[in-house]
Chain A
């Protein structure tokens, strides 16, 4: 069955370290998204991609970067982790080859703690 996976599921790191969160989908979706979820804020968009080599900034992109070298993967990098980036991170994808973009499918999330 097609799915979207994230790794690691839990991560503890120190301030200033570079961290990369992985996202892999087997839906063959064109669109991929990274969100962070914090209490009281819902899901906020960090970066998104509409295809290979396409990346765009979301509303909370400072301190984060992404690259899209293939259809299946969109890794999220925290260049220099800060305590304010402690959060739960969700990856999502949408847009199958038939053009159906009705639903975003979400991964299980990565819980990141920056000490």
Chain B
């Protein structure tokens, strides 16, 4: 069983829809939770960063962490074609190594 599970999709939604992405994990030592966005043939870029449980909002993006369920989510409101990318969840303990999910490929149709 992988340490971090993420449905690879693909996910296709119409412009303006809410995109919901999630990951589950098994390592209870994880304290830092991130979402990276990766455009085709590019390196990943940090999108959201959360420490411990709770919600964090940044514009159209909301990240949620539920440590009791070992479950994290990313919501994209009013999705745009420019949001079409692969979204990777990542997490770590107090070590600096990241454990990544497989990534979910999202397409927002105009």
Contacts and interface: CB of A to CB of B under 8 A. Distances in A.
A106 B46 CA distance: 9
B97 A109 contact: no
A40 B96 contact: no
A90 B43 contact: yes
Interface in A70-106: 90, 92, 94-95, 101-104, 106
Interface of A: 31, 33, 35, 40-45, 48, 50, 58, 90, 92, 94-95, 101-104, 106-109
Contacts of B103: 42
Given A42-B6, A42-B88, A106 B43 contact: yes
Interface size class of B (residues with CB under 8 A): 20 to 34
The 3 nearest A-B residue pairs measured at CB:
A106-B43, A42-B102, A42-B100
Interface in B13-64: 32, 34, 41-46, 49
Given A40-B102, A42-B103, A50 B41 contact: no
A109 B96 contact: no
Interface of B: 4, 6, 8, 32, 34, 41-46, 49, 88, 90, 96-98, 100-103
Nearest to B49: A102
A27 B103 CA distance: 27
Contact of A42 (B32, B41, B101): B101
A108 B96 contact: no
Contacts of B88: 42-43
A108 B97 contact: no
A34 B81 CA distance: 31
B41 A109 contact: yes
